[in-house]
Amino acid sequence: MKRSLTPVASLGEFGLIQRLTRGARLVNASSIRGCGDDAAVLDYNNGKRVLVSSDMLIEGVHFDLSYVPLKHLGYKAITVNASDIYAMNGVPRQVTVALAVSNRFTVEALDELYAGILLACERYGIDLVGGDTTSSRVGACICVTVIGEAGEGEVTCRDSARVNDLVCVSGDLGAAYAGLQVLKREKVVVGDDPDARPALEGYEYVIERQLKPEARGDVTRRLAEAGVRPTAMIDVSDGLSSELLHVCVGSGVGCRVFEEKIPVDGQTRRVAGELNLDPVTCAMAGGEDYELLFTAPLEARDALAAMEGVSIIGYVTPPEDGRFLVTRDGALVELEARGWNSFIQRE
């Protein structure tokens, strides 16, 4: 049975945005009014900080629709923004979504995108409260702005790490990068053959990490429950090395992190081996893991060591001691910002 498909132009801008946001329900008390007026109306109580962050995703730069399903793209667009709020030790509450698409997209395709957006909103307890929908000449562009809140004393920036703090990371790293390499390889292998099926069995974890990453609000919640207050925090969007440097440069400190302590999943190691990549390089330089990198007081060592999904990977040093990865054989490798830079064309 063939579904009939609807050109975007047939609905008009307002009809389109009404259709796309019809599944949006407001769940947060701070969301007074959502989509449909010049601006959304929010209400935050005294003593709370409001956090706001914007991220833009561009077709051909951040995503390739030949291997990223639109529903996953919508989910990921919300996740990466939610991650920014968790990385401030806050809780995301609202998002606005601005979207530009060319005429080659149908309304049904945008329904898929919004299904992913609304699924992620539900997952993270976020209200979709507004945005903009417009056309582009070519390609798609999604800009999400997230608004969150945190108690006045809870906001955790990237520039407040202290000497002797522990350096910790949530989950595991490098999988999203390994997943991207598999997707790129399969795209090449499958090429233009419409009957070819990509060979993705055995790659589920790394592909899921690339296509449908999760923001780690569970980790900030667990830290709060354990009474552990991170001193500095950032999310790992550009690779561990680059994020460590942001924290160290911002805080005016050095660090030592240990190769053997960096959490890398078994499937990531296997895939990296197949692709002739070093798994630790995937973790250090790969990016898009959306795990949390944070520093915490030395006294929290026992609580952190016992915490599920958290690894202690090193410690903060005085700035003059430099910023180093200590390899398994004890060599010191200076950290480099080799993270993702969208302005430099990469192979």
- The interface with its own copies within residues 133-172 (CB under 8 A) comprises 134-139, 141, 143, 145-148, 152, 155, 157-159
Q: How far is CA 304 from the centre of its chain?
A: 23
The minimum distance between CB 217 and its own copies, in angstroms, equals: 13
Comparison of 103 and 327: residue with beta carbon closer to its own copies = 103
The structure tokens 């090429």 sit at 191
Q: Report d(CA 111, CA 23) in Å as an integer.
A: 10
Q: Of 89-108, which residues contact its own copies (CB under 8 A)?
A: 90, 94, 96-100, 103
What interhelical angle do 266-274 and 204-211 show, nearest 10?
A: 100
Q: Report d(CA 78, CA 76) in Å as an integer.
A: 5
Under the criterion CB under 8 A, does residue 303 sit at the interface with its own copies? Answer: no
Binding piece for its own copies, criterion CB under 8 A, among 112-120, 185-193, 296-304, 334-342: 334-342
Q: Could you tell me which of 158, 153, 129 has the C-alpha nearest to residue 48?
A: 153
User: Pick from 4, 191, 343, 346: which binds its own copies (CB under 8 A)?
Assistant: 343
The structure tokens 């995703």 sit at 57
Q: Could you tell me which of 316, 322, 307, 197 has the C-alpha nearest to residue 263?
A: 307
Q: Could you tell me which of 35, 9, 10, 20 has the C-alpha nearest to residue 114?
A: 20
The minimum distance between CB 205 and its own copies, in angstroms, equals: 26
The minimum distance between CB 203 and its own copies, in angstroms, equals: 27
> How many CB atoms lie under 10 A from the CB of residue 227?
8
Comparison of 176 and 234: residue with beta carbon closer to its own copies = 234
User: Pick from 132, 204, 225, 278: which binds its own copies (CB under 8 A)?
Assistant: 132
Q: Which residues contact 126 (CB under 8 A, 6 or more apart)?
A: 28, 78, 82, 92, 93, 94, 95, 120, 146
Q: What is the pattern of x (binds its own copies, CB under 8 A) and - over residues 72-91?
A: -----------xxx-xx-x-
The residues pairing with 323 across neighbouring beta strands, listed in sequence order, are: 255
Q: Report d(CA 52, CA 149) in Å as an integer.
A: 9
User: Pick from 18, 22, 43, 164: which binds its own copies (CB under 8 A)?
Assistant: 43
Three-state DSSP state, 37: coil
Q: Report d(CA 73, CA 304) in Å as an integer.
A: 33
Comparison of 146 and 175: residue with beta carbon closer to its own copies = 146
Comparison of 54 and 327: residue with beta carbon closer to its own copies = 54
Three-state DSSP state, 135: strand
The minimum distance between CB 82 and its own copies, in angstroms, equals: 11
Q: What is the pattern of x (binds its own copies, CB under 8 A) and - over residues 310-329?
A: --------------------
Binding piece for its own copies, criterion CB under 8 A, among 5-13, 201-209, 218-226, 310-318: 5-13
Q: What is the pattern of x (binds its own copies, CB under 8 A) and - over residues 207-246?
A: --------------------------xxx-----------
The minimum distance between CB 43 and its own copies, in angstroms, equals: 6
Comparison of 134 and 327: residue with beta carbon closer to its own copies = 134
User: Pick from 61, 189, 196, 332: which binds its own copies (CB under 8 A)?
Assistant: 61
Antiparallel, parallel or unpaired: β 292-296 and 332-334? unpaired
Binding piece for its own copies, criterion CB under 8 A, among 19-27, 59-67, 187-195, 200-208: 59-67
Per-position DSSP letters for 196-259, written without gaps between them: -----TT-HHHHHHHHS----HHHHHHHHHTT---SEEEE-SS-HHHHHHHHHHHHT-EEEEEG
Comparison of 301 and 338: residue with beta carbon closer to its own copies = 338
